[in-house]
Amino acid sequence: MNIEYGLRRNINILKSLKGFQYLLFLLPVLVPFYQSQGLSTGEVIYLQAVFGIAVFLFEVPTGYISDKLSRKLSIQIGFLLCGVSYSLYGLMDGFLYYAILQTVIGFGACCISGSNDALMYDSLLSMGKSHEYVKHKSSMSSVGNFMEAFAGVVGGLVAILSLVYAAYLQGFAMLLGFLVALWLVEPPIHREEELVHLDEIKKALRIVFVEKREIFWVLMYGTAISGMTFSSVWLFQPVLIENGVSVGLFGWFWAAMNLSVGLMVMTVPWMQKKFSLKFSLLMIPILTCVGMVLIGVWGALISLLFYLAVTWARAARGVFTSVLLNDRVPSSLRATILSMDSMFFRLVFAVVAPLLGWVVDTRGVGNGFLIVAIVFGVLSVIPYRKLIKYHVV
């Protein structure tokens, strides 16, 4: 097979894999599912902390393995592990059982994280089309959001029959993704120098923490924004529960939320041309905080309209930080360093999650929104100022 044909096909395959990855049939009804298994809302958040710790532990090692062995194989392993784990979701119950599954899913997610972006960027780079990365990255993100919206509707309808059916369906989607990933082609890695054995991880860490401090602050900025948007996902469903929304309608709300993200991410290339990067990165945390405070104070179902501010931030953050990182990291360590983007925010969320879970269980979901806005809003100030200092924006 012609290598250039395979590299061009990689782009479409990676977009389709994004779709399979985001066929999250269980996610729109995950809180009711866990509650049906005897877990509290706080314990649901604690499980996400377990997932976050798993990502923190596995993100860099899996990124390193991806860079050194095969990004294609890493993606395939990730889909396989997630598919099997979700297929086991309905066999037992209890916090410990789900904590184990979340750990395995976290490892699988790490195998995919970073590798997909690195594979796309290096495929384009090998074809001399790296300048098209923003367009394809935005398109890939949009595919993921639209498929998550579709899965939300289907998952909600399937949950009417049985909540566990949504988990089985999600496992099936991940296994289909594994089969599609078998068609990927490994692109050449553009090395700036030959690196050897495990010292490469030390080199990646030295680049982030010492040699190129601007990369560290891009990661910290992304951590603060992701912490806000990710936390809000686990507060979204409790708002529906508090307002008496039936489980069958959860998927429609979830679909509306993710359709908005899909539409918002399509505006990012336009925003990139219309506004300065400095202005865009400033508006992302401001609008997110304002939206979450208004939801927390009001609490009524109609207040979820302010969630549009959060979805816009989620869309813009993913594209902008990915571009900033890809422009600054060496190709031979691309997946390793991109993996740190997810690793850092998962670690911060794991630290904040116990407080958030306690607040939600004892003070209500509205106060949970306020805590998230305050904590992560403050955390976004320092990295933004550092990005200005290092002339990133």
| Exposure of 169 in the CB half-sphere (CA atoms within 13 A) | 24
**Closest CA relative to residue 304, chosen from 243, 228, 251, 378:** 243
Alpha helices in the chain, H assignment, sequence order: 3-21, 30-36, 41-68, 71-87, 95-112, 115-126, 133-161, 163-181, 199-206, 213-242, 247-265, 268-274, 277-298, 307-326, 334-363, 365-389
109, 100 in Cβ contact below 8 A?
no
139, 263 in Cβ contact below 8 A?
no
> Residue 193: pLDDT above 50?
no
Calpha distance 29→250 (Å, rounded): 6
**Closest CA relative to residue 310, chosen from 228, 237, 365:** 228
| Predicted pLDDT of residue 338 | 75
| Predicted pLDDT of residue 196 | 41
Digit-coded pLDDT (tens) for 105-162: 999 998 998 788 888 888 888 888 877 887 888 788 778 878 888 888 899 999 999 9
Calpha distance 222→12 (Å, rounded): 26
Q: What is the mean pLDDT of residues 246-271?
A: 78
Neighbours of 158 (CB within 10 A): 23
Confidence of residue 337 (pLDDT cuts 50, 70, 90): confident
Residues 6+ apart with CB under 8 A from 208: 215, 216, 219, 337, 340
Range with the poorest average pLDDT among 216-225, 256-265, 301-310: 256-265
Range with the poorest average pLDDT among 53-57, 204-208, 282-286, 301-305: 301-305
| Predicted pLDDT of residue 105 | 96
Q: How much of the chain exceeds pLDDT 90, in percent?
A: 35
DSSP state of 300: S
Neighbours of 81 (CB within 10 A): 21
Q: What is the mean pLDDT of residues 290-304?
A: 85
Calpha distance 249→238 (Å, rounded): 13
Return contacts of 198-205, CB within 8 angstroms, 24+ apart. 198/64, 200/64, 200/67, 200/68, 200/332, 200/333, 200/336, 201/60, 201/61, 201/64, 201/336, 203/333, 204/60, 204/64, 204/333, 204/336, 204/337, 204/340
Confidence of residue 198 (pLDDT cuts 50, 70, 90): low
